[in-house]
Chains A and B, each alone.
Chain A
Amino acid sequence: MSRVALSLLSLLAALLFTEVASAHGERNQEPFLRMRSAHFFDVTWSKTKLAVNEEIVVEGKFRLFKDWPVNLPKPNVVFLGNGTPGPVFARVESWINGQPAIQSMALKRDRDYTFKTVLKARIPGRHHVHPMLNVDGAGPLLGPGDWVEVSGRAADFKLPVTTLDGTHIENLEHWATGRVKAWHAIWLVIALAWLGYWIRRPLLIPRYVALREGNEKALVSHTDLAVGAGLIVVVVALVVGGFVYTEAEYPRTIPLQGGRAVVEATPKSDAPVTVIVDRATYDVPGRSMKIAATITNGGQHSIQFGEFATSNLRFINRAVPAAVAHVDPRYPKELLPRNGLKVADTTPLAPGETRKVELEMTDAAWETERLTSLINDPDNRVGGLLFCYDDRDERLVANVSGSIVPVFMDVASAQMRMTH
């Protein structure tokens, strides 16, 4: 019945809306959450169009940031979720560094992990699909999202499994729901019968008066007592009988599995690039972030600065071919700001060299992604990852974090005003 109702309501929604567009509220999460907690990268979606019952693989990597905000609990208990509008997909598999992520786990800051989630399309519509980490006390931390279109009928969805005792479950959606309804119905019928037995009599005032006048015997008869005793017998028999029968029916059951998974982090790179932020500014009217940093190349090869990634935005330095080559053409365009990353000095940083570098990211994306509201944050620091490419096109990922100062007015206009 509920399926029919669901179909009717879906039809009603479809009449008014050609498609279910389901973005999340990721833009309203505070910038410090998005800039300095989990940084997702190399994220791919195996497809963006699929039918009900087909599967999509979302995989990639994430780094738990070193400069983790002090007001967020540390990632000691983390669950790999999927940022979808609830169960529009069924999650059939999820892995972190090759280990099953059915349960939550402790992860380490300043370490990288790979992840993979397999989702089976369930509810038709256009859904925004993100990888997501839930961190105990910190809440959901969303990775980049892409739009995925699911076609077909929700009623056709099936999630079959086979249990270890050989029971084949055709569809988990409906597994044992008949029993649920039947037992509830049995108890409800008994309850309504008991209530009806009493409610059919004159109730409030007559009983109140009879009781106050000491005529209690008129209110509860011997028959009532016998019915009450019979009720206890029926209830106890049904409870015990149902339990014993079920024990015989399902002799091999297990309790809920509530443990924690253990996962090792990906080994750290032995050729680090260190970035010390000297001064970072955000030009509010110009929508431009400038980071002046002292960068040291601790590796064996010269490097170039190919990408700055923060809050799922990827600022690509188009002057570095390796960085451009790393961008999957199917990657969501709204997460690749058009102006990208500009580096004043394009000379590669030699091994062992330390240099002052200016990184500039100017784009309306700061505004549209509501990252400009970072000036309202109580912990005003910028954070992100700097992707460096060496002369063998090997990638080195460096943490970038430091204080940020807003610039509220255009300096040239201000000077003009002062001259006048």
Chain B
Amino acid sequence: MSSVLPHPTASSTAKAAATDKPIVNYKPAIFGLAGVLLIMVAYRIYQQIFAFSAGLDSTAPEFDTYWMNLLKGELVLLVCSWAGLWSYLWFTRDRNLTALKPREEMRRYFRLVMFLLVYAFCVYFTGSFFGEEDASWHQTVVRDTSFTPSHIILFYGTVPLYILFGVGSFIYAMTRLPRFAERISLPFAIAVAGPFLILPNLGYNEFGHAFWLMEEYFSAPLHWGFVVLGWSVLALGGVLLQIAQHIYELMGRMEKESAAA
């Protein structure tokens, strides 16, 4: 860790700040959070209206109308959003990171942190809000399909959304920040890949519910795959620590640059 003390002169920083756009722009984060919240509230209201009225019998035509069609829509959205955001981030990457100015790099670090904030917010809806709600639904009714009103929202609605932002933040860091492009951050990879694997782990979950577990209890070992993968979110601590280290180092460079100017 650098021991360079960030102690610029007042005039230099003031000049730099005045001539440049602000480093921290909350707008993307606010839009991201508000958008995610809007989607989640819409999902929850949809459940309130259509779960009991059209979601109890998977053989009924109304189940097809309100639930299977939603699922199909989600799957289309999943493919489009993943392909769209990730390829956008890739094709608009910075192709000359070595020329990156410290102030712009700092700006990108804050954008990355906000990306992570939106990612965490999405993970919250899977791990906590809709995750526990899944228990309330499956313990309330007789499960007759893998695609229940709870699962269609939880696994095919909220999980793809956090994968979108998780992988997106990873690509963002690797394509726009020199330190993350130079070397792959393991905690970052774990914090993104672990929750991502919850989606394929669903195969184990459905296998177990079809062949082993006819009743609903959440503590069943069948569900522990989700638990272990959920632990990987702790690696966000490592990512934040890494970002803090980078930012501190960057502060020193910014100060030097300002002083030189």
Chain A residues close to B by CB (< 8 Å): 9, 12-13, 16-17, 20-29, 83, 85-87, 125, 128, 134, 136-140, 142, 204-205, 208-209, 212-213, 370
Contacts and interface: CB of A to CB of B under 8 A. Distances in A.
A26 B142 contact: yes
B76 interface: no
B223 interface: no
Given A137-B214, A205-B248, A209-B248, A24 B48 contact: no
B56 interface: yes
Interface in B47-63: 48-49, 52-54, 56-60
Interface of B: 1, 3, 45, 48-49, 52-54, 56-60, 139-145, 214-215, 240-241, 244-245, 247-248, 251
Contacts of B145: 25, 28
A74 to B, nearest CB: 14
A21 B142 contact: no
Nearest to A127: B52
The 5 A-B pairs of least Cβ separation, nearest first, read A25-B144, A139-B214, A86-B140, A28-B144, A23-B57
A128 B48 CA distance: 18
Nearest to B247: A205
A20 B53 contact: yes
Contacts of A125: 52
A13 B58 CA distance: 20
A128 B53 CA distance: 12
Please classify the interface of chain A as helix (H, G, I), strand (E, B), loop, or mixed, using the class held by over half of its residues.
Answer: mixed
A142 B214 CA distance: 13
Given A85-B56, A140-B142, A370-B59, 20 more contacts: A12-B49, A13-B53, A20-B52, A20-B53, A21-B53, A22-B52, A24-B142, A25-B58, A25-B144, A25-B145, A27-B57, A28-B144, A28-B145, A86-B139, A128-B56, A137-B214, A137-B215, A140-B215, A142-B142, A204-B244
B48 A12 contact: yes
A42 B57 CA distance: 25
Contacts of A209: 1, 248
B60 A23 contact: yes
Nearest to A140: B142
Given A13-B49, A16-B49, A22 B56 contact: yes
A205 B244 contact: yes
Contact of A23 (B56, B245, B251): B56
Contacts, number: 86
A219 B167 CA distance: 36
A12 B247 contact: no
A295 B240 CA distance: 77
Nearest to B143: A25
B1 to A, nearest CB: 5
B52 A134 contact: no
Contacts of A20: 52-53
Contacts of B215: 134, 136-137, 139-140
B58 A28 contact: yes
Please classify the interface of chain B as helix (H, G, I), strand (E, B), loop, or mixed, using the class held by over half of its residues.
Answer: loop
Contacts of B142: 24-26, 83, 140, 142
Contacts of B141: 24-25, 85-86
B74 to A, nearest CB: 21
Contacts of A9: 45, 48
B100 to A, nearest CB: 21
Counting chain B CB atoms within 10 Å of each CB, which of A12, A142, A209, A212 scores highest?
A209
Contacts of B59: 25, 27-28, 370
Contacts of A370: 59
Contacts of A27: 57, 59, 144
A314 B141 CA distance: 25
Nearest to B248: A205
Nearest to B137: A86
Contacts of A138: 214
A187 B68 CA distance: 43
A24 B52 CA distance: 10
B70 to A, nearest CB: 15
Nearest to B251: A205
A138 to B, nearest CB: 6
Contacts of B214: 137-140
Contacts of A16: 49
B24 to A, nearest CB: 15
Contacts of B143: 25
A264 B61 CA distance: 43
Contacts of B52: 13, 20, 22, 85, 125
A176 to B, nearest CB: 21
A268 B99 CA distance: 91
A204 B48 contact: no
Nearest to A28: B144
A27 B3 CA distance: 70
A21 B215 CA distance: 24
A89 B58 CA distance: 23
A125 B3 CA distance: 69
A136 B140 CA distance: 17
B56 A25 contact: yes
B6 to A, nearest CB: 9
B136 to A, nearest CB: 8
A35 B56 CA distance: 22
A213 B145 CA distance: 59
A204 B240 contact: yes
A13 B48 contact: yes
Contacts of A28: 57-59, 144-145
